[in-house]
Amino acid sequence: MSLKNILLIALPLLFISCEDVVDLELPKAKQELVIEANAIQYANKASGTLRVKLSLTNNFYDELTIPVNNADIILQVNNSAQKVPFKNDGLYSLPISFYENTEYELTVNYKEQTYSARTKLFKTVPIDSIQLTERSFSDDNSALNAFFTDPDTAGDCYLFLTSATNQLNEVSVTDDELFNGNTTAVFYSEELKPKDTVTFKIQGISQDYKRFLNILLQQSNSGAGGNPFSSPPSKINGNFVNQDNPEKRALGFFSISQEYELDFIIPNE
């Protein structure tokens, strides 16, 4: 949890400011390849699905994402190579088995460029419990803490996905630097009604993926883009390497994560 982000949550409450949607002319996008490649191990299942989504960057105001349907994707693990078959709309998927401490290599061939990325399975811990809390920024909100216990080893990183009835999903990442080895909580606060379901998901991720997502979340939230209190935005480099032309990178990341989830139903008052 970045302290600066917390402060930014608080700032707008103080401003006597106003927001307007403006008509701003933006440059036409160069088409760059975006690779979103993830496999999730639910709890301790032996197998799961590798999903690869390929798209091209598009003009900012265009509704559509431009899917890439004509790429060749190969997954290599334990010296065996398998093609990741195309499904639809830029989506490719392949059933895979999960092995610990094993390198998975993904290669994407598109327009005579070869992009490859390597990763391992990153384990995590289950959510111990979810509890309502009185502490919140606003009394109108329901606030929840989802507790989990970080292992003693330093350097664990987490991705949290929180979804609730009629609410947008929330994504956040953190490392264990400030709570290594302790039981700590993910905080969630929204205007919720009795019987609404809140789902907490916790994933294990690499330091590199945490860094990547940290920047991505900052820039995808409205914080970036000229806010005097935000870091200057930039292109976000992931873990894909262009074997033919190192300068011409693909956006996106290849990751394999273990995931646990736990639901909570808001009780009647």
Q: Centre a 10 Å sphere on the Cβ of residue 45 and count the other Cβ atoms it contains.
A: 12
Q: How far apart are CA 40 and CA 34, in angstroms?
A: 19
Say how many residues touch another protein, by CB under 8 A: 91
Give the footprint of another protein on residues 234-253 (CB under 8 A).
Answer: 234-239, 241, 246, 249, 251-252
Nearer to another protein, 82 or 171 (CB): 171
Position 2 contacts another protein (CB under 8 A): yes
In this chain, which of 1, 81, 132, 265 binds another protein, going by CB under 8 A? 1
Nearest distance in Å: CB 46, another protein: 25
Is 91 a binding residue for another protein by CB under 8 A? The answer is no
Which C-beta is closer to another protein: that of 97 or that of 131?
131
Instruction: Label residue 74 exposed, middle or buried (CB < 10 Å: 0-12, 13-18, 19+).
Output: middle
Q: Hey, is 213 helix, strand or coil?
A: helix
Q: With CA atoms as reference, report the closest residue to 66 among 93, 38, 29.
A: 29
User: How far is it, in rounded angstroms, from Cα 104 to Cα 144?
Assistant: 36
| Termini Cα distance of the chain | 31
Pick between residue 208 and residue 261 the one whose CB is nearest to another protein: 208
Pick out residues in 173-212 that bind another protein (CB under 8 A): 177-185, 187, 189, 208, 211
Q: Note whether 78 binds another protein by CB under 8 A.
A: no
Q: Is 88 in the site for another protein (CB under 8 A)?
A: no
Angle at 212 between CA 7 and CA 51, to 5 degrees: 125
User: Can you tell me the distance from the alpha carbon of 72 to that of 83, in angstroms, rounded to the nearest whole number?
Assistant: 8
220 forms part of the interface with another protein (CB under 8 A)? yes
Q: Is 120 in the site for another protein (CB under 8 A)?
A: no
Q: Which stretch binds another protein (CB under 8 A): 96-104, 190-198, 217-225, 261-269?
A: 217-225
Count of residues making up the chain: 269
**Are 103 and 120 within 8 A, CB to CB?**
yes
In the complex, least distance from residue 83 CB atom to another protein, rounded to whole angstroms: 24
225 lines the binding site for another protein (CB under 8 A): yes
> Could you give the angle at the alpha carbon of 5 between the alpha carbons of 141 and 165, nearest 5°?
35
Q: Take residue 156 and report the two structure tokens written for it.
A: 């664990």
Among 126, 217, 261, 262, binds another protein (CB under 8 A): 217
Member of 40, 171, 196, 262 binding another protein (CB under 8 A): 171
3-42: which residues touch another protein (CB under 8 A)?
A: 3-4, 6-7, 10-11, 13-24, 26-27, 29-30, 32, 34, 36
DSSP state of 152: S
